[in-house]
């Protein structure tokens, strides 16, 4: 948690520290870990630390223990990402991928547009999660 918010050399820093996500002073420095344990309790088996408000900081009122499945549904966009969940720019193309049930990445192909990549993500999300899937809102095509 601290490294992803403070260390630019960490792979996931771009999703946390680079976006301005911080760790409260209470959980950092001397007695920081003890304070964290006091506020959050020990990690329950199978759970990971989650922020209730994904743009909020790591602090007692914004954190909870969550399953990997809950975490997967919370994945949002980050700096440099496309406007659609599950779509990442790659040169002049767009890569579509999902992480079903918080597990391994499922690659859905490289697409020529954000829209087709987002559509591929939506199709896969429907397959994995059915009607409860949180889909990308894609504009309807307009007649030429």
User: Domain limits of the chain?
Assistant: 2-67, 80-132
Beta-carbon contacts of 97 under 8 Å, excluding residues fewer than 6 positions away, are 86, 88, 105, 106, 107, 108, 121
Average confidence (pLDDT) over 95-116: 85
Q: What is the pTM of this model?
A: 0.53
For 64, other C-beta atoms within 10 Å of its C-beta total: 12
Using an 8 Å Cβ cutoff, are 135 and 120 in contact? Answer: no
Q: Which fold would CATH assign to domain 80-132?
A: GCC-box Binding Domain (3.30.730)
The chain-wide mean pLDDT, for the chain, equals 84
Least confidently predicted of 25-29, 60-64, 71-75, 112-116: 71-75
CA atoms of 96 and 1, how far apart (whole Å): 27
Radius of gyration of the chain (CA): 18
DSSP assignments along 87-98, one per residue: EEEETTEEEEEE
Q: For residue 79, what pLDDT is reported?
A: 44
Strand-pair category, 63-67 with 47-51: antiparallel
């Amino acid at each position: 948690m601290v490294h992803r918010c403070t260390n630019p050399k960490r792979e996931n820093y771009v999703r946390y520290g680079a976006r301005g996500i911080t760790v409260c002073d209470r959980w950092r420095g001397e007695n920081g870990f003890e304070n964290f344990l006091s506020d959050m309790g020990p990690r329950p088996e199978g759970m990971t630390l989650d922020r209730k408000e994904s743009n909020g900081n790591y602090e007692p009122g914004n954190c909870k223990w969550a399953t990997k499945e809950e975490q997967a549904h919370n994945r949002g966009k980050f700096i440099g990402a496309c406007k659609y969940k599950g779509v990442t720019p790659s040169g002049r193309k767009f890569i579509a991928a999902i992480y079903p049930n918080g597990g391994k990445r499922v690659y859905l192909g490289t697409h020529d547009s954000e829209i087709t990549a987002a559509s591929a993500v939506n199709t896969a999300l429907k397959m994995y999660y059915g009607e409860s899937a949180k889909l990308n809102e894609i504009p309807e095509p307009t007649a030429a």
